[in-house]
């Protein structure tokens, strides 16, 4: 049985910020490509929830690199997956706050 995906407020905000940045600083095609990669990943995630690397064993948090610069962190719960945050990998890793 596939798990349901829920977006945290933080994940939604970061996603919108990244898309906005790509639209303003790069191109519409770059933004569309990023969005496509995110939703392609979200299409397979419910069937393969452990596809991401285990980042925090106690909290069951996993991470998956969407593009070289952005990793999506998520938590697997009993019957759902919660998207925690999209993290810019060029930032200081101590800013992750998972």
pLDDT level of residue 82 (50, 70, 90 thresholds): very high
* Model pLDDT for residues 88-98, shown as the tens digit of each residue: 988 666 666 76
Q: What is the pLDDT of residue 93?
A: 66
User: Could you give the angle at which helices 28-44 and 9-25 cross, rounded to 10 degrees?
Assistant: 150
Give the pLDDT score at 36. 98
List the CATH code of the domain at 4-90.
3.30.2310.20
Edge-to-edge strands, sheet with 61-67: 4-7, 80-88, 70-76, 61-67, 53-56
What confidence tens digit (pLDDT) does each residue in 55-64 have? 999 999 999 9
Report pLDDT digits (tens) over 5-38. Answer: 999 999 999 999 999 999 999 999 999 999 999 9
Locate the domains of the chain by residue range: 4-90
């Amino acid at each position: 049985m596939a798990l349901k995906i829920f977006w945290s407020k933080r994940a939604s905000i970061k996603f919108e910020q990244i898309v906005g940045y790509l639209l303003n600083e790069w191109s519409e095609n770059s933004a569309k490509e990023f969005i496509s990669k995110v939703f392609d990943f979200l299409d397979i995630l419910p069937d393969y929830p452990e596809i991401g690397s285990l980042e925090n064993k106690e909290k069951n948090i996993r991470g998956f690199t969407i593009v070289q610069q952005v990793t999506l962190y998520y938590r697997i719960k009993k019957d759902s997956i919660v998207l925690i945050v999209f993290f810019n990998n060029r930032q200081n890793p101590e800013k992750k706050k998972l």
